[in-house]
Amino acid sequence: MKQSVILILLFIPTLLLARPSLTISLLVDKAQNSVDTSFQVKVYKGDRLLHDLTIPLFEKKTFDDVDTGSYRIEYMTIFKRLISQTLQITRDEEYYELLYLDSFDRVKDVRKSFVSSLQDGKSMKISFEAYGCYHWETQGIKITLMNGKYVATLYPEKLVRDKKKKGKTIIKSLTQQGVASIEELEHFILTNALPGGGSNETTSFKFEVNGIVWVFNLDEESRKPFYKLRETVFGQK
């Protein structure tokens, strides 16, 4: 009997000391990235900023002994949309928050794009690589913002297996409609990207923005919107 009382008394402080923990993980669902990239994450309790962090992609940060209450986690997606996730910590257990940096919402991100976020004097590239049983082709566009105006360069299409090139380099000043066409292509890619890398017959789109490369895989026929952009903006079929 005395031994049981001692065990209970030893166990009570352990219960009293138990506190919740919070783990934040930075992930992507559809995008692929081979460059070490970090993102800013802010953690609030109520309206009070608790932590202003820089966390590398695919890594996590754990906070032990957090208080119960209402928390808010803010972060910016790769498309420059601020996302705010809320959670209630109510009991002594482990809490996990997954932050998907490539979260894309067709409605909320309608005015968000890589091209619209370009800074003056900077460039970005959109390229695709389509490969299947009997073909392997690639082509790219470079967009530069200079003095508030967009200039786009279309590079020749490469037929990799035949070691040939089709077309020529074309440079165009983009009209407002031209910029909108590029945004439309971006949104098509981001909306239709396949999680997990796709299949053996895939069209792989690559965005090179601010020194970071993001790759999205789509089905084989998804290169057709690129061809449409190539024809409407550059006049090349």
222 confidence band (pLDDT: 50, 70, 90): confident
CA distance 207 to 85: 27
pLDDT tens digits, residue range 178-212?
A: 999 999 999 898 888 887 655 556 789 999 988 88
- The pLDDT, as a whole number, for residue 14 is 44
- The pLDDT, as a whole number, for residue 137 is 84
Residue 54 contacts residue 39 (beta carbons within 8 Å): yes
Sign of CA pseudo-dihedral 116, 191, 127, 55: positive
pLDDT tens digits, residue range 138-185?
A: 899 999 999 999 999 999 988 766 667 878 899 999 999 999 999 999
28 confidence band (pLDDT: 50, 70, 90): confident
pTM for the full predicted model: 0.74
Q: Which domains does the chain have, with CATH numbers?
A: 19-100 (2.60.40.10), 123-234 (no CATH)
What own/partner pairs with CB < 8 Å and gap ≥ 24 does 205-211 have?
205/126, 205/127, 205/128, 206/125, 206/126, 206/127, 206/128, 206/129, 206/140, 207/114, 207/124, 207/125, 207/126, 208/124, 208/125, 208/127, 209/114, 209/117, 209/124, 210/122, 210/124, 211/35
State the average pLDDT over residues 5-21: 53
